[in-house]
Structure 1
Amino acid sequence: MTLHTDRPNRIMSLPTVRIGTELAVLLADYLGDQEKNQGYDGLMRRAADHRIYDRVSRWRTASDPEATTVAVVRKLLPVADRTHMAKALGWSLGDLENQLTSALPKAVRDHARTLSCRLPRWHRL
């Protein structure tokens, strides 16, 4: 997993940044990872492997995706990735998993929207 937490980021450097914003930036970076079995594609593959693909794919089109459970978060994000995220944020693994129950569905939705913007217009119809 390649998380670029050392990369300068204007949003994260502002003094009024909220914890949710830091997590959102971290998840956007994670989902954008193009390494094998990583990022959005890896997450969707794991969703299919655990037979929850339909649930996760609904997050992509929901205007306000429902929160999920910690069990689903654990199925979708490998423990090494969750541990790395928790360490980058300075949180416990349990705190991160609880925050991911609502942040992950929204991050998947936001990432899917960026993907649809890259498609030619006839693909989006």
Structure 2
Amino acid sequence: MTLHADRPNRIMSLSTVQISTEPAVLLAYYLCDEGKDCGYDGLMRRAADHRIYDRVSRWRTASDPESTTVAVVRKLLPVADRTHMAKALGWSLGALENQLTSALPKAVRDHARTLSCRLPRWHRL
């Protein structure tokens, strides 16, 4: 689910979705979006653009991925999306970014695991 307000016909807005007030839940919805430059694919594309793809791809296989920096969070998540998340949680943008330093790597790992579960067994090897 993307948090962009400019595509109301394609997705439900955050106000219409009953969600927990946890960054992990918002990130799970965010990473599931399959739109152009959105979700997991968009995040990985931005990681490649900023030359941090290797770091982000290691999160996918780590049992307990290390926290990252606010600068990396800002590179991976567009400001509009971070602003919408902060507003949905009732937090300041700075507080959200600090929480995302640990929540984003775990969300990427969890999302990658769900993707691998959808693949045929021979793809998972």
Identify the TM-score tier after normalising by the shorter chain: 0.7 to 0.9
Question: In the alignment, residue 48 of structure 2 is paired with which amino acid?
Answer: A
Q: CA deviation at 1:68?
A: 0.1
C-alpha displacement of 1:23:
1.0
User: After superposition, what is the alpha-carbon deviation per residue over 1:40-95, rounded to whole angstroms, capped at 9, x for unaligned?
Assistant: 00000000000000000000000000000000000000111100110111000000
Q: Distance in 2 between matches of 1:77 and 1:70?
A: 10
Which amino acid counterpart does residue 119 of structure 2 have in structure 1? L
Determine the structure 2 residue equivalent to 1:81: 81
Shift of 1:8: 3.3
CA contact 2:2–2:39 (8 Å) conserved in 1: no
Aligned-residue identity in percent: 85
Q: Is the 8 A contact 2:67 2:102 kept in 1?
A: yes
For the residue of structure 2 that corresponds to 1:109, the secondary structure is: helix
Aligned length: 115
CA separation in 2, counterparts of 1:91 and 1:79? 14
1:11-22 aligned within 5 A: 12=20, 22=22
TM-score by length of 2: 0.87
Cα distance per residue 1:10-49 (max 9 Å; x no partner): xx3xxxxxx5xx2111000000011110000000000000
Task: Give 3-state SS (helix, strand or coil) of 2:61's partner.
Answer: coil
TM-score norm. by structure 1 comes to 0.87
Q: How does 1:1-125 map to 2 (within 5 A)?
A: 2-3=2-3, 4-5=13-14, 6-9=16-19, 12=20, 22-125=22-125
5+ residue gaps, structure 1, are 13-18
Show structure 2 runs of 5+ residues with no match.
4-12
Q: Provide the aligned C-alpha RMSD in A.
A: 1.3
